Amino acid sequence: MKHIKGFFIHLGLIVLCIFCMLPFLWLTSTAMKGASENIFQYPPVLIPKYPTFANFLRVLELVPIIKYAINSFIVAFFTVILNLVFSALAAYPLARMEFRGKNFIFFMVLLTLTVPFQAIMLPVYIIVLKMNLVDSVSDTMGYLGMILPFCVNAFGIFLLRQAFLTIPKEIEESAIIDGCNSFELFYKILLPLIKPSLSVLAIFTFVGSWGEFLWPSIILTKQELFTLPVGINELQGAFSADYRLIAAGSIISIIPIIVFFLLLQKHFIKGTNEGAVKG
């Protein structure tokens, strides 16, 4: 009985895993078929007869995918760093200090969580234009335009506030007796204690920023600043005649994030619930 149950559980999960991999496997298969193989062949062939990497090399030659990946990395990296710094700074007084207007600020930050970015993006776009944070001014300004609107996030503030709240009061008191001021207390004593939450915030902010499509697609005008999602979407127009190249470009683009995920899998599994931040 136990064995039969186990068999069906594994069977069900294996079918689901195949379903989860199928779109990517089929894309890889298409990308590895050479010009001599018909990609619309019937019945479809999963393993190419003459597997080739030619499409990968060709798409890398024609489209600056590596540059897109570097752009995505720059944007994601600085978005993460600024989020960590600003969220931690804001979370600390909200968790551990008493001051006038604390409740007001608390609820204002909470309010931002209920408003979707899409509903306020038009004025954000106008503000970013007025501040010259666009790629037509300079590359740096272009990057800033992609980073700054997302460099503080209420999820992060609340996540870190909860982490600060779990630290016992005695640790803080003894540090104050030892002569620490608020800033020393913050970065020497408290910040190291919330490292697990900081890493959860870092990972989920990174993945969110890396996959972001709508905002960069609105503000970017120069191809040199395209991030991966924007650049990969453009492949569809550029190579509408040859899905092999679209497939090859798409597969190349997901390698970095899959490696990142596999390296940090434990944190992802631990953090989904705590983070619950979704792009």
Partner 1 sequence: MNKSFKLTPYIFLLPAMVLLLVFFFIPFFQTAIMSFFDYTKEFYNPIFVGLENYFTILKSEIFIKSILNTFWFLILCVPFLVIFPLIVAILIDQKIKFDNLYKLIIYIPVVVSIVVVAIAFKWLYQPQGLLNYFLGLFHINSVPWLTSPKVAMASVAIVTIFKGIGYYMMIYLASLTSVPKELLEAAEIDGAGEIKKHLTVTIPHIMPTIALVSTISSISALKVFVEIYVMTKGGPLNSTKTIVYYIYEKAFESLDLGMASSACVILLILVMGFSLVNIFCFEREKYGL
Site for partner 1 in 60-89 (CB under 8 A): 85-87, 89
Q: According to the binding rule CB under 8 A, does residue 198 interact with partner 1?
A: no
What minimum distance in Å lies between the beta carbon of 138 and partner 1?
A: 20
Q: According to the binding rule CB under 8 A, does residue 168 interact with partner 1?
A: no
3-state secondary structure of 132: coil
Pick the closer one to partner 1 by CB: 121 or 175: 121
Total binding residues toward partner 1, as defined by CB under 8 A: 92
Distance, in Å, from the CA atom of 157 to the CA atom of 269, rounded to the nearest integer, reads 21
What minimum distance in Å lies between the beta carbon of 275 and partner 1?
A: 10
Stretches 47-55, 56-64, 113-121, 189-197: which one binds partner 1 (CB under 8 A)?
A: 113-121
H helical segments located in 97-153: 102-113, 117-130, 139-147
Distance, in Å, from the CA atom of 104 to the CA atom of 8, rounded to the nearest integer, reads 54
Contact 56, 252 (CB under 8 A): yes
Can you tell me which residue has the tokens 């434990």? 266
Q: According to the binding rule CB under 8 A, does residue 165 interact with partner 1?
A: yes
Amino acid code (one letter) for 158? F
Distance, in Å, from the CA atom of 117 to the CA atom of 122, rounded to the nearest integer, reads 9
Pick the closer one to partner 1 by CB: 54 or 257: 257
Quick one: angle between helices 102-113 and 154-165, nearest 10?
A: 130
- Among residues 103, 168, 177, 278, which is the contact residue for partner 1, using CB under 8 A? 278
Of residues 207-226, those binding partner 1 (CB under 8 A): 207, 210-211, 213-214, 218
Q: Give the 3-state secondary structure of 141-179.
A: HHHHHHHHHHCCCHHHHHHHHHHHHCCCHHHHHHHHHCC
Stretches 73-81, 150-158, 168-176, 193-201: which one binds partner 1 (CB under 8 A)?
A: 150-158
Closest alpha carbon to 235 in 27, 87, 45: 27
Of residues 86-105, those binding partner 1 (CB under 8 A): 86-87, 89-90, 92-94, 97, 99, 102, 105
Q: According to the binding rule CB under 8 A, does residue 194 interact with partner 1?
A: no
Q: According to the binding rule CB under 8 A, does residue 53 interact with partner 1?
A: no
Angle at 264 between CA 19 and CA 256, to 5 degrees: 65
What minimum distance in Å lies between the beta carbon of 259 and partner 1?
A: 10
Q: According to the binding rule CB under 8 A, does residue 6 interact with partner 1?
A: yes
Of residues 224-263, those binding partner 1 (CB under 8 A): 228-229, 232-233, 235-236, 243, 246-247, 250, 253-254, 257-258, 260-262
